[in-house]
């Protein structure tokens, strides 16, 4: 699958507000700073599409990007950002819940985890959450450029061992720095869009 066109469509915040454009959606989730927005930019060849920041907690809204006029990539705010207030954590929970409740055309969730780290408790909760709703998911192991190519396969196998799961799912090493894993990921996601 080739991404020929990508555009920002809209953001939604919390509270009953939702957006159901009727096209298939793939949601991108993961802890703050793991590289969700960077990955969206990498997949769409547009460095300026989604806002990227060294500071965790950059994406605070649910952002919809329309690709090839055919499907949406949805950039969700990151979890596990330690410095946010209780109030903001609550708003994050509400936003996620209303998104997952409203997203009738959600075909798959891309759960991102840093290739160098152990999954966090919240990563594992996210996995449980999507399994509970029987939504297919793919684990993207981000920042693969930070480790040698020869180690990437083993680190993905290690991640898989650290994720208790009863689902069959794919793990793909990815780098938004150099585009590593792009074709593979798009190839994995494509069939979900047609289902």
Closest CB to ligand GTP among 20 and 45?
45
Interaction with ligand GTP in 5-34: which residues (CB under 6 A)? Answer: 30, 32-34
Q: Judged by CB under 6 A, which of 6, 25, 36, 156 binds ligand GTP?
A: 36
Looking at residue 163, the DSSP 8-state letter turns out to be S
Going by DSSP bridges, is the β-strand pair 25-30/71-75 parallel, antiparallel, or unpaired? parallel
The single residue among 41, 44, 59, 175 that binds Mg ion, judged by CB under 5 A, is 59
Residue nearest to ligand GTP according to CB distances in the complex: 78
Q: Of the two residues 29 and 172, which places its CB atom closer to Mg ion in the complex?
A: 29
Output DSSP code: residue 31.
B
In the block, which residue shows the tokens 């939504």? 135
Residue 9's H or E segment, with its range, is: strand 6-12
CB distance 115 to 147 below 8 Å: yes
- Which of 29-37, 97-105, 132-140, 175-183 is the region at the interface with Mg ion (rule: CB under 5 A)? 29-37
57: contact with ligand GTP by CB under 6 A: yes
58 binds ligand GTP (CB under 6 A): yes
Write the CB contacts of 37 (distance below 8 Å, at least 6 apart in sequence). 50, 51, 52, 58, 59, 75
> Which H or E run includes 184?
helix 182-194
Binding of ligand GTP by 152 (CB under 6 A) = no
Burial of 48 (0-12, 13-18, 19+ CB in 10 A): exposed
- The reply on whether position 107 binds ligand GTP by CB under 6 A is no
Among 33, 37, 63, 175, binds Mg ion (CB under 5 A): 37
Residues lying near Mg ion in the complex (CB under 5 A) are found at 36-37, 58-59
Residues lying near ligand GTP in the complex (CB under 6 A) are found at 30, 32-38, 52-54, 56-59, 77-78, 142-143, 145-146, 175-177
């Amino acid at each position: 699958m080739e991404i020929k066109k990508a555009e920002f469509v809209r953001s939604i915040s919390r509270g009953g507000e939702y957006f159901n454009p009727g096209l298939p959606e793939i949601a991108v989730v993961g802890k703050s700073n793991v590289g969700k927005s960077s990955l969206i930019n990498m997949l769409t060849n547009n460095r300026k599409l989604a806002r990227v920041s060294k500071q965790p907690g950059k994406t605070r809204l649910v952002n919809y990007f329309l690709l090839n006029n055919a499907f949406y990539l949805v950039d969700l705010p990151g979890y596990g950002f330690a410095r946010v207030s209780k109030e903001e954590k609550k708003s994050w929970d509400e936003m996620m819940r209303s998104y997952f409740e409203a997203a009738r055309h959600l075909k798959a969730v891309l759960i991102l985890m840093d290739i160098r780290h152990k999954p966090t408790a919240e990563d594992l909760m996210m996995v449980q959450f999507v399994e509970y709703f029987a939504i297919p998911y793919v684990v993207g192991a981000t920042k693969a450029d930070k480790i040698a190519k020869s180690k990437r396969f083993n680190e993905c196998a290690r991640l898989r061992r650290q994720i208790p799961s009863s689902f069959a799912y794919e793990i793909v090493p990815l780098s938004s720095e150099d585009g590593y894993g792009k074709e593979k990921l798009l190839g994995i996601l494509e069939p979900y869009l047609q289902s």
